[in-house]
Structure formats: structure tokens, C-alpha cells
Amino acid sequence: MTSEEEYVSTRREDMLKTNADPEEDVEWTGEWPTYATLPEHMRPGAKRYVEEGKRPGGFLDAVLCNNLALAHRLADSDNRYILHVYAEWMYNDIPASCWGSRQIVFSWIQKGGMNG
């Protein structure tokens, strides 16, 4: 299996776990970071944070800061049961330098994200 096939296969499995359409957004584009595994309504905010350093909403902020209890409390009904998807997304699909603690998130915002 090529790396492209592995990528598509993994994304398909992740999207099935999130009840997303497995035929949508799974084609390898060669671009990184990716947002395809996140629920559709979360993708714009995640993209703005990662690429432009825009402060995310409360739930995503808690996720990025590694605050599981707060993230669970702030999660909507779509996100409450898929926190593991966010953990996989952070680990696999975005720069490690943009998540992990409050200070890291603050620094990322100050920097202006990947485009800063």
C-alpha cells in the first residue's frame, strides 16, 4: 500500500467514526495541515487558528491546550463523543508547535500561526 493509499484509508476510517461522508474530502492533495477528520462545522475555526493564529472558540481552545475536562464540558453534542478524533488530528495533521498547553497556544496566536 502506498503512502497515499494509507492516508486515504486512514482518513476514511476516521471519517466513519465521526459520521462524516467517507467519500468526501478524502482525496490526498499533498497539502498539510489537513482538517478532513474534523466535523465540518469545526473546520473553518481550526483552519483559522492553525494557519493564521486566530484564537479559536472555547471548545477548540480547551482541546488545543490539552484541557480534557474543560473540552468535555464545552463540547457540543457533535464533539462530546469524538474527543479522540481531535487528539489524532493534533498528533497527525497539524504542527506540534501549535498545541499542548495554554502557553503554546498563546505563543502560536502571537506568532500569527503558520502564516506569521
Percent of the chain with pLDDT over 90: 71
Please give the pLDDT value at position 1: 58
Please give the pLDDT value at position 101: 97
Please give the pLDDT value at position 32: 78
Please give the pLDDT value at position 94: 95
Low-confidence ranges of the chain (pLDDT < 70): 1-31
Please give the pLDDT value at position 2: 55
Which residues, 6 or more positions from 81, have their beta carbon under 8 angstroms from its beta carbon?
Answer: none
Please give the pLDDT value at position 60: 98
Please give the pLDDT value at position 6: 56
Please give the pLDDT value at position 39: 97
Please give the pLDDT value at position 9: 52
